[in-house]
Amino acid sequence: MKSNSIFSFLLPKESKFFPLINHIGELNKNASSTLVKFITCDDKQKMQDLYFEIKGYEREADEVLNVIFDELNIIFITPFDREDIHELCERLDDMLDNINSASKRVLLFQPKSIPNSALELCKIIADCGDSIYIALKELKTMNKKPAVALEQTEKLHQFERKADEVYEQYIKHLFEVEQDSIELFKIKEIMQEFERTTDAANAVGKIIKTMIVKYA
C-alpha cells in the first residue's frame, strides 16, 4: 500500500460519520412526527400501518448504527472521540426504541381511550425530534459555530421538564379517578413509555452539549 493511501485511510472519515449521524437524526425526526399521527388515529388498521412505519424507521436506524460502530472499529482517527460518538448513537437508539415501544404498547394494550395528556407528550416528543435533527446537522461546524446546537440542547432540556410535568399531573389524576385497575395499568405503562422517550431525547441533548464544551 502506498504511503499516501495509508495516510488517506487514517484521516477522519467526516464524509462518512456526519451523513450517517444526520441520517439517524432524520429517521428519529420521522418516527417522532409519525407518533403524533399514530396517537391521533382512530382507525385500527391505519394505526397498525403507522406502527409499522415507526418500526421501519427504528430498524433502519439500527442498520445505520451498526455501520457507524463498524467504522469506529476500523478508522484510526475520528472527528470526535470514539466514546462520544458511541454514546451519542446509543442515546439516539434509546429514543427510537422508546418511540417504537410506546406505539407497540398502545396496539397491544388497546386502552378504552387515549388521554389528551398522551397527545401532549407525543407532541413534545415530535418537538424533541425536530430539535435533535437541527442539532445533529450542526455537528460538523459546531467547533466554530456552536450557538445553534446549544440552543437546541436547551430546548431539549425544557421539553423534558415540560413532559415531566404533564406526566406527573396526569398520573396523579389517573390514580384519583380510574376505578378499573387493568385500565389504570394500561394507561400508566403507555404514559410512562412516552415520558421515558423525552428522557432519552434530553440525554441526546446532554451528550451534544458535552461535545460542544469539549470541541468548540
Whether pLDDT at 5 is above 50: no
Rg of the chain, C-alpha, whole Å: 19
Q: Phi-psi region for residue 113, left (φ > 0), alpha (ψ -120 to 50) or beta?
A: beta
Cβ-based neighbours of 37, under 8 Å, separated by 6 or more: 50
Instruction: Show the DSSP H helices in 11-43 as ranges.
Output: 14-39
Q: Is 110 left (phi over 0), alpha (psi -120 to 50) or beta?
A: left
Nearest residue to 175 via CA among 101, 167, 118: 167
CA dihedral 211, 199, 36, 139 (to 10 degrees): 0
Tens digit of pLDDT for each residue in 169-211?
Answer: 999 999 999 999 999 999 999 999 999 999 999 999 999 999 9
- How far is residue 58's CA from residue 30's CA, in Å, rounded to a whole number? 10
The DSSP output letter for 138 is: T
Higher pLDDT, 102 or 82: 102
Average pLDDT on 5-29 reads 72
C-alpha cell at 182: 387493568
CB burial of 204-213 (b: ≥16 within 10 Å; e: otherwise) equals: bbbbbbebbe
pLDDT bracket for residue 7 (50, 70, 90): very low
First-last CA distance in the chain: 35
pLDDT of residue 15: 58
What's the pTM value of the predicted model, to 2 decimals?
Answer: 0.91
Task: Give the domains, in start order, of the chain with CATH numbers.
Answer: 14-215 (1.20.58.220)
Q: Are 29 and 132 in contact (CB under 8 A)?
A: yes
Note the pLDDT tens digit of each residue in 99-120: 999 999 999 999 999 999 999 9
